[in-house]
Amino acid sequence: MSKAISQVPFAQNEPVNAYSPGSDEVKSLISTYKKMWKEKTEIPMIIGGKEIKTETKIQLTSPHDHHHDFGFYYQGDMSHVDMAIEAALAAKAKWNALGWEQRASIFLKAADLLAGPYRDVINAATMIGQSKNVHQAEIDSACEFIDFLRYNVEFMTELYAEQPVSDPGVWNRVEYRPLEGFCFAVTPFNFTAISGNLPTSMALMGNVVVWKPSDKQIYAAKVTMDVLKEAGLPDGVINMIFTDGKETAERVLAHPDFAGLHFTGSTKVFQGMWKMIGDNIHHYKSYPRIVGETGGKDFVMVHHSANIEAVATALVRGAFEYQGQKCSAASRAYIPKSIWNQVKDLMASQIKTIKIGSPEDPSNYVNAVIDKNSFEKCKAYIDRAEASNDANVIIGGKYDDKKGWFVHPTVIETINPYYESMVEEIFGPILTVFVYEDENWESTLKLVDTSTPYSLTGSIFAQDRYAIDEAYKALENAAGNFYINDKPTGAVVGQQPFGGSRASGTNDKAGSKMNLMRWVSARSIKETFVPAKDYKYPYLG
Ligand code: NAD
């Protein structure tokens, strides 16, 4: 154990590479992309540090070219879930006994590997597997992931330093133990950073983990495991399995040693898992921790005093970057009639310049949506809007699945604030706008607050400070991440801790001390230096 109270390196946000046309950094990334595009990668599960291959090979295809397969992964079954749980539990005692500096060091090294030799590799894997352009890959799989790793180490030491006062003659301490048993991380397709953060934040706090990534994010998940191995993560601490989500959840959540769920994904899946945990509550050795960050229907609420260029730009960036596949993406906007035409024209002229295609060409701002299901879902919303009396497709509305799952940036205008695309999460490049009469500002704030079950992110645009204050108060519970005169996406670790409430999650703020608190179970220790030797208190005479 440690013989010093060491300080960890001061955490700072990883600088974002600009990837300007012709720069060395963009040449290097695109050449890595081209090389990896041609390779046929083979991805085994990693259980107890071993590569696990099965008879079932699942082809990997790219969203922007669904005829191009870049390899395959080995799919597992319930025997592999059992193996992963056993491997995690077998690794537990040694990992728990390791000093915190040793754990911190592994994850700090992983951050440096990602910032250096693995930067192009993890970015290219994210571009190929998840169809992110150079900028979207950089801010996710490089910078945000690195930030999670570094800031979590700093937050861990802040948490450990939180200690109680002691009366004279007594020394009180609090020790932050990992949870008893094993933890379960289930991660989404859309962020390599989130996918990496969920298992690593739990492991950093001394836990052992079974990790099931999304089958749409397996390429970058593999790179994450490669990095963790090179950083020195001991075998069995994080076990990565490729198994069916529902069946795996049923298996894992019925295990008596299940200790905590770290989930990010859709609301419905999380609610199903919470229910399973409730049904199994009598079987567990301890009450499991449940953390879930889920869906959103993120708003942009505009006051007539708002700056028009700022509103149009925030809507275009907020709604269409990464094809709207961010839980924080702007997907409903409320715009006053007096400025709507100007906002609309400006948005239309910006959207006209957007290029769509493969991330191999860095000038493409919009790439493909993740898969056929997502494509069909977007298409259906667009087709229904075209046919509806309540809605009009005013910008975009095109889609094309010949080569990849391409949906063009689309704006729907509706006269019904409860129209389906105004209240349901689509998770694609579709923004719906409700135009309100300027004098209905107050009642529209109510609509923003109450018309969806979600509460993830939201923005308010205004120059009038009284209007900002009014919206700030009226929308207190409408968003876990609230923006004033900025788009509702792009939260930065250490700056805007991320998460929402209501149907959007447990709001445990990924990449913060609040989140790490969920993966420890505190033990209070009171030591008395000179214990009493007689039961009689002074009041007994
Ligand atoms: P998803 O819910 O389809 O899948 C998430 C994970 O759950 C995957 O690993 C998947 O394989 C697994 N899964 C699927 N069905 C399951 C089941 N029945 N039981 C157990 N596990 C199951 O989500 P997705 O499409 O990967 O990601 C998009 C969703 O994630 C959106 O709803 C988005 O808003 C949300 N999201 C939220 C945040 C946040 O921080 N709030 C961040 C990113 C994504």
Closest CA to 229 of 389, 118, 362: 118
For residue range 94-150, list pLDDT tens digits in order: 999 999 999 999 999 999 999 999 999 999 999 999 999 999 999 999 999 999 999
Residue 8 domain-assigned?
Answer: no
Question: Could you tell me if residue 497 is inside a domain?
Answer: no
Q: How many independent structural domains does the chain possess? A: 2
**Which residue's alpha carbon is at the smallest distance from atom 22 of ligand 1?**
245
Q: Is 492 contained in some domain?
A: no
Q: Is 294 in the pocket of ligand 1 (CB under 6 A)?
A: yes
Atom of ligand 1 nearest to the CA of 268: 2
Whole-number Å distance between alpha carbons of 457 and 333: 12
pTM, to two decimals: 0.98
Q: Go through the chain and tell me how many residues it has.
A: 541
Do 40 and 181 reside in the same domain of the chain?
Answer: yes
CA distance 404 to 129: 12
Q: Is pLDDT at 529 greater than 70 in this prediction?
A: yes
534 falls within a domain:
no
* Paired tokens of 373: 């299901």
Which residue is catalytic, options 327, 360, 413, 424?
Answer: 327
- Pocket lining: 296 vs ligand 1, CB cutoff 6 Å: yes
Distance 206 CA to ligand 1 centre (A): 25
Residue 288 and residue 225 share a domain: yes
Instruction: Assess whether 187 and 89 both reside in one domain.
Output: yes
CATH code for the domain of 276: 3.40.605.10
pLDDT in tens, 84-94: 999 999 999 99
Mutate to test the pocket of ligand 1, among 263, 327, 496, 504 (most ligand atoms within 8 A of CB): 327
Same domain, 305 and 265: no
Mean of pLDDT over the chain: 98
The conformational region for residue 4 under phi > 0 = left, psi -120 to 50 = alpha, else beta, is: beta
Both tokens of 59, joined, read 């082809």
Instruction: Kindly state whether residues 439 and 309 are assigned to the same domain.
Output: yes
Higher per-residue pLDDT: 189 or 1: 189
Ligand 1 atom with least separation from CA of 370: 25
Taking alpha carbons only, the member of 189, 160, 219, 267 closest to residue 520 is: 160
Residue 430 lies in a domain: yes
Provide mean pLDDT across the span 312-331: 98
| Ligand 1 midpoint to CA 275 (Å) | 16
Residue 378 appears among annotated catalytic residues? no
51 occurs within a structural domain: yes
What residue has token string 């593999």?
222
* Closest-lying ligand 1 atom to the alpha carbon of residue 267: 32
Q: Which two tokens stand for residue 55?
A: 């008879």
351 and 365 in a single domain? The answer is yes
Distance separating the N- and C-terminal Cα atoms of the chain: 47
40 burial class (0-12, 13-18, 19+ CB within 10 angstroms)?
exposed
Residues of the domain holding 456: 298-484
Indicate whether 79 and 207 sit together in one domain.
yes
Closest CA to 313 of 135, 484, 490, 487: 487
Are both 162 and 122 inside the same structural domain?
Answer: yes
Q: State yes or no: is 327 an active-site residue.
A: yes
**Dist. CA 218 → ligand 1 center (Å):** 14
pLDDT band at 366 (very low <50, low <70, confident <90, very high): very high
Query: What residues contact 143, with CB distance under 8 A and at least 6 apart?
Result: 13, 14, 15, 16, 193
User: Using 50, 70 and 90 to split pLDDT, how confident is the model at 535?
Assistant: very high
pLDDT above 90: residue 1: no
Residues 466 and 521 in one domain: no
CA distance 101 to 118: 23
Q: What is the dihedral of CA 207, 210, 214, 217, to 10 degrees?
A: 70
Count helices and strands (H / E) in the chain. 17, 23
What band does 12 get if pLDDT is binned at 50, 70 and 90?
very high
Tokens 């790793």 sit on residue: 149
Whether 73 contacts 60, CB under 8 Å: yes
Long-range Cβ contact pairs of 98-105 (< 8 A, separation 24 or more):
98/206, 99/1, 99/2, 100/2, 100/156, 100/157, 100/160, 100/206, 101/2, 101/6, 103/203, 103/204, 103/206, 104/8, 104/153, 104/156, 104/157, 104/204, 105/232
Residue 379's CATH number: 3.40.309.10
Centre of ligand 1 to C-alpha 196, Å, is 14
Going by CA atoms, what residue is nearest to atom 15 of ligand 1? 245
Instruction: For residue 214, report the distance from its CA to the centre of ligand 1, in Å.
Output: 8
CA distances from 330 to 28, 152, 195, 493 (A): 32, 28, 22, 20
182: pLDDT strictly greater than 80: yes
Average pLDDT over residues 22-50: 98
Instruction: Determine if ligand 1 sits within 6 Å of the CB of residue 505.
Output: yes
Model confidence pLDDT, tens digit, residues 406-450: 999 999 999 999 999 999 999 999 999 999 999 999 999 999 999
Is residue 152 located within the same domain as residue 130?
yes
Q: Give the confidence band of 2 by pLDDT, cuts at 50, 70, 90.
A: confident
Ligand 1 pocket member 241 (CB < 6 A): no
- Alpha carbon of 323 to ligand 1 centroid (Å): 17
The residue whose CA is least distant from atom 23 of ligand 1 is 265
Pocket test residue of 214, 247, 323, 456 for ligand 1, highest count of atoms within 8 A of CB: 214
Question: Does the CB atom of residue 189 touch ligand 1 within 6 A?
Answer: yes
Contact (Cβ atoms closer than 8 angstroms) between residue 399 and residue 392: no
Outline where DSSP puts E strands in 237-297.
238-240, 258-264, 289-293
In this structure, which residue's CA is closest to atom 42 in ligand 1?
Answer: 327
* Ligand 1 nearest atom to the CA of residue 212, by list position: 9
For residue 398, is it within any domain?
A: yes
d(CA 464, CA 322): 32
* 264 Cα–ligand 1 center, Å: 6
Domain assignment of residue 533, yes or no: no
User: Does one domain contain both 123 and 234?
Assistant: yes
Domain identity same for 259 and 397? no
